[in-house]
Structure 1
Amino acid sequence: MSRSHRLLQLMQCLRDGAGPKTAVSLARELNISARSIHRDIATLREMGAVIDGAAGYGFTLIEDNAIPPLRFTDDELEALVLGLREVQQIGDPDLGLAAGQALIKLQGRLPPRQSHRLKHAVLSAKRFVQPETPGISAARLRKAAWDEMEIRFGYTDVHGAVTHRQARPLGIAYMDRSTVLIAWCLLRQDKRVFRLDRMRDLEVTQTCFRPNRVPMLRDAIEQIRCDIEKTGKEHNSAN
Structure 2
Amino acid sequence: MRRADRLFQIVQLLRRSSQPVTAEAIATELETSKRSVYRDIAALMAQRVPVRGEAGIGYVLDSGFDMPPLMLTSDEVEAAVLGAQWVAGRGDPALARAARDLIAKIAATVPERLRPVVLEPALGAPKTWNVLPETLDMAAMRGAIHSARKVALHYKDEKEAETRRTIWPFQVAYRETTRIVIAWCETRDDFRMFRTDRVILAEVLEDRYPARPAALRAKWRAHLREQYGVEEH
- Structure-2 change in CA distance of 1:221 and 1:110 (3 Å): same
Distance 1:116 1:210 in 2: 47
Identical residues among aligned pairs (%): 29
The CA RMSD measured in Å over matched residues stands at 2.0
- Structure-2 change in CA distance of 1:127 and 1:228 (3 Å): farther
For normalisation by structure 1, the TM-score amounts to 0.63
Pairing of 1:171-190 with structure 2 (within 5 A)? 171-190=171-190
Residue of structure 1 in register with 2:157 after alignment: 157
1:5-40 Cα shifts (integer Å, max 9, x gaps): xxxxxxxxxxxxxxxxxxxxxxxxxxxxxxxxxxxx
- Compare 218-227 and 98-107 and name the one that shifted more: 218-227
Residue of structure 1 in register with 2:208 after alignment: 208
Give the number of equivalent residue pairs: 163
Equivalent pair of 1:89/1:130 in contact (CA under 8 Å): no
1:137-182 Cα shifts (integer Å, max 9, x gaps): 0000000111001110210100111111111111111122211111
Unaligned residue ranges in structure 1 (runs of 5+): 1-67, 231-239
- Compare 123-132 and 157-166 and name the one that shifted more: 123-132
Letter in 1 for 2:77: L
Pairing of 1:1-239 with structure 2 (within 5 A)? 70-126=70-126, 129-229=129-229
1:67-92 Cα shifts (integer Å, max 9, x gaps): x8722111111111111111112212
- Could you list the structure 1 runs, at least 4 aligned residues long, displaced by more than 4 angstroms after superposition: none
- Compare 209-218 and 77-86 and name the one that shifted more: 209-218
Distance 1:71 1:112 in 2: 13
The SS at the match of 1:71 is coil
Q: Which has the larger radius of gyration?
A: 1
- Structure-2 change in CA distance of 1:99 and 1:76 (3 Å): same
- Structure-2 change in CA distance of 1:130 and 1:225 (3 Å): farther
Equivalent pair of 2:131/2:177 in contact (CA under 8 Å): yes
Distance 2:133 2:74 in 1: 34
Distance 2:228 2:175 in 1: 15
Letter in 1 for 2:150: E
The SS at the match of 1:125 is coil
The SS at the match of 1:168 is strand
